[in-house]
C-alpha cells in the first residue's frame, strides 16, 4: 500500500510500465480492508461456525438435532424465551414516551439543549451502575417505597424486585428508563429536519397539538420509528443480560421470574458445563435476532444497503 503510482492524466504511458489508470486497481482495496477483515472473520465467522458445529455434537460425536430437541423442551429455556418476548412490550412504551418528549422538546425554545442533554444522559451510563443504583432504590425498604409511604401512597409500595409477579416488569421499567433517551434524541433530530412550511399552514388553519403531530409529524417519521423499534426489539431479545445479571446477582430470581435467554446460555455454559446445550440455545437466539433484522429490512422501503452505497 506504499507504492506510489506516479501516473498523470496528461502524460502518455507511465514509466512504471503500469496501465494508465488514475488510481491503483481495485485489488488494492483488499490490502486496506484485509487487517479488519481478518479480525471480523475471527470474531464473527469463525465463532459462529464453531458454535453451529458444536450445537450438533455431544462430547465430540455428531448427534443431529438432539441438543435442539433438549433445549426446546427445557421448561427453563421456554420460560426464558417467554420473558424476552414479554420484554418486547417495552418497545411500544419506549416509542410512545420518546415521541411525546421529542415533540415537546422540538417546540421548546428555552432550555432545549439542556433538557436534551439531561434526558440522553442515562443512555451513556453503564448498565452495571444503573442496575446497582436502581436495584438499591427498588428494594423493599428502599428509597422508592420510603417515598411512596411518605406521600401517603403506601398502598403502591411493593417488593419491586422481590415479588416474582412484578420483578420482570420492574426490570422492563429500568430498561425503559435507560433506553428512552436514545429514542428522544433520534426522533428529535428527525423532527427538526422536517420542513416548517406545513406546520405554519396547519397553524393558520387552527390545527391543535394532537391534530398537527398526528397528521404532519408522525407520517414523516415512519423510517426512524421503524429503526428505533427494531433496535430496541433486538435489545429486549438479546442484550438484556447485564440488567438481569446485576439486579438479580446472576440468578434471574426470584425463582425463575427474570431468567432471560442470554442468562440461560451463560449459566448452561459456565455453571452447568453443558456447552453443547448452551451452543444450541445460542444458535436459536442468533436466528431470532436475524429474523428481527430481516423484518426491519422488509419494513424499510429503502434498505440500509442502499444507504451505505449512497
Partner 1 sequence: MAKVTSPMGRVGSFSRYVLLVACTLGALLPGYIMLTGAFKTQSEFLSSPWSLPANPTFKAFGESWSAGLPSWFVNTILVTAGAVVGVMVLSALAGWGFAYWQFKGRETLLGIIVSLMVVPPVVLLIPLFQFGAQLGWISTFRILILIYIGLMLPFSIYLLANFFSAIPHSLLEAAQIDGASTGAIFRRIVLPLSGPPIATLAVVNILWAWNELLLALVFLQDPEKHTLMVGIAGFRGRYSLDIPTVMAGLTLVTLPLVIAYLVGQRFFIQGLTAGGIKGE
Question: Between residue 113 and residue 142, which ones bind partner 1 under the rule CB under 8 A?
Answer: 115-130, 132-137, 141-142
- In this complex, which beta carbon is closest to partner 1, that of residue 151 or of residue 155? 151
Residue 174: name the closest of 94, 120, 117 by CA: 94
Does the protein bind partner 1 through residue 238 (CB under 8 A)?
yes
CB atoms within 10 A of CB 263: 22
Q: Phi/psi at 259 (nearest 5 deg)?
A: -70, 130
Does the protein bind partner 1 through residue 272 (CB under 8 A)?
no
Does the protein bind partner 1 through residue 1 (CB under 8 A)?
yes
- In this complex, which beta carbon is closest to partner 1, that of residue 163 or of residue 220? 220
Number of chain positions touching partner 1 (CB under 8 A): 116
What are the grid coordinates assigned to 225, written together?
A: 420509528
Site string for partner 1, 274-303 (x = CB under 8 A): -x--xx--xx-xx--x--xx------x---
* CB of 268 vs partner 1, minimal distance in Å: 9
Q: Which stretch binds partner 1 (CB under 8 A): 73-81, 84-92, 160-168, 240-248?
A: 240-248
Rounded distance between C-alpha atoms, residue 116 and residue 188, angstroms = 9
Rounded distance between C-alpha atoms, residue 75 and residue 138, angstroms = 29
* CB of 238 vs partner 1, minimal distance in Å: 4
Rounded distance between C-alpha atoms, residue 104 and residue 132, angstroms = 31
What are the grid coordinates assigned to 196, written together?
A: 416548517
Residue 172: name the closest of 235, 94, 254, 90 by CA: 90
* CB of 50 vs partner 1, minimal distance in Å: 4
Rounded distance between C-alpha atoms, residue 4 and residue 23, angstroms = 10
Does the protein bind partner 1 through residue 232 (CB under 8 A)?
no
Q: Which stretch binds partner 1 (CB under 8 A): 63-71, 76-84, 87-95, 230-238?
A: 230-238
- In this complex, which beta carbon is closest to partner 1, that of residue 4 or of residue 62? 4
* CB of 223 vs partner 1, minimal distance in Å: 5
Footprint (CB under 8 A) of partner 1, residues 158-197? 177, 181-182, 185-186, 189-190, 196
Does the protein bind partner 1 through residue 58 (CB under 8 A)?
no
What are the grid coordinates assigned to 297, written together?
A: 429490512
| Cross-strand bridge partners of residue 58 | 61
How far CA 61 is from CA of 56, 249, 253, in Å, comes to: 9, 35, 35
Q: Are 218 and 176 within 8 A, CB to CB?
A: no
Does the protein bind partner 1 through residue 90 (CB under 8 A)?
no
Amino acid at each position: 500500500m506504499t507504492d506510489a503510482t506516479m501516473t498523470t492524466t496528461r502524460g502518455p504511458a507511465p514509466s512504471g510500465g503500469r496501465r494508465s489508470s488514475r488510481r491503483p486497481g481495485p485489488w488494492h482495496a483488499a490490502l486496506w480492508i484485509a487487517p479488519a477483515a481478518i479480525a471480523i472473520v475471527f470474531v464473527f465467522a469463525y465463532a459462529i461456525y464453531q458454535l453451529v458445529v458444536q450445537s450438533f455434537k455431544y462430547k465430540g460425536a455428531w448427534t443431529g438435532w438432539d441438543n435442539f430437541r433438549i433445549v426446546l423442551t427445557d421448561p427453563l429455556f421456554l420460560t426464558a424465551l417467554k420473558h424476552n418476548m414479554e420484554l418486547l412490550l417495552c418497545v411500544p412504551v419506549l416509542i410512545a414516551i420518546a415521541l411525546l418528549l421529542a415533540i415537546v422538546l422540538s417546540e421548546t425554545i428555552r432550555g432545549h439543549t439542556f433538557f436534551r442533554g439531561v434526558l440522553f444522559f442515562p443512555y451513556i451510563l453503564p448498565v452495571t451502575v444503573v442496575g446497582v443504583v436502581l436495584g438499591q432504590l427498588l428494594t423493599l425498604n428502599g428509597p422508592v417505597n420510603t417515598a411512596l409511604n411518605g406521600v401517603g401512597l403506601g398502598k403502591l409500595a411493593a417488593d419491586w424486585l422481590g415479588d416474582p409477579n412484578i420483578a420482570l416488569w420492574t426490570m422492563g421499567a429500568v430498561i425503559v428508563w435507560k433506553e428512552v433517551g436514545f429514542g428522544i434524541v433520534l426522533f428529535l433530530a428527525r423532527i427538526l429536519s422536517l420542513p416548517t412550511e406545513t406546520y405554519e399552514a396547519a397553524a393558520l388553519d387552527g390545527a391543535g397539538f394532537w391534530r398537527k403531530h398526528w397528521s404532519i409529524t408522525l407520517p414523516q417519521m415512519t423510517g426512524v420509528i421503524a429503526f428505533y423499534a427494531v433496535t430496541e426489539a433486538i435489545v429486549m431479545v438479546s442484550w438484556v443480560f447485564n440488567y438481569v445479571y446485576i439486579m438479580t446477582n446472576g440468578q434471574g430470581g426470584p425463582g425463575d421470574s427474570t431468567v432471560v435467554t442470554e442468562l440461560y446460555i451463560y449459566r448452561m455454559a459456565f455453571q452447568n458445563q453443558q456447552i453443547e446445550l448452551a451452543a444450541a440455545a445460542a444458535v436459536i437466539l442468533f436466528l431470532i435476532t436475524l429474523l428481527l433484522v430481516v423484518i426491519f429490512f422488509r419494513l424499510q422501503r429503502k434498505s440500509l444497503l442502499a444507504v451505505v452505497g449512497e
